[in-house]
Amino acid sequence: MNDNKYLIGDIRIDGVKYSAEFLDFAEREKQGLVTEGEKQKLLSEQHHLVDEVAKHKEEVSILQGEKSTLQNDIKQERKNFTDMQTKFKPRKDDLQRVLKLAKETKPPPCTKQQG
């Protein structure tokens, strides 16, 4: 048998401070002064809040997935960049060849510009 005859009841949660509006509603309900319309309105508001919370949780989940994808993309790009640096890093002997060619190459002949 269900003894819950009140919409709100006498639930106490540690650390929760109830608003004056809530306490007033609970007291009016205990006294039988709350109409069915008021109860339906309160339940409707609560359902709306539950729906909003569920919607926001879904949005958070989507955003976390996008964040994870972007982080993986960044990791891959960093790896690709590191691979390219390693692949195209000039070797010491290549640098020495370039310097040797630069010394051996004769500069182009200078031409005087008339002005």
DSSP 80-105: HHHHHHHHTPPPHHHHHHHHHHHHHS
Q: Is the pLDDT of residue 1 over 50?
A: no
Query: Tens digit of pLDDT for each residue in 22-51?
Result: 888 888 888 889 888 988 888 898 899 899
Query: Tens digit of pLDDT for each residue in 60-94?
Result: 999 999 999 999 999 999 998 888 877 776 677 77
Looking at residue 110, its pLDDT comes to 67
Does the model's pTM come out above 0.75? no
Q: Is the pLDDT of residue 109 over 70?
A: no
pLDDT band at 104 (very low <50, low <70, confident <90, very high): confident
Strand segments, DSSP code E, in the chain are none
Amino acid identity, residue 69? T
Looking at residue 2, its pLDDT comes to 47
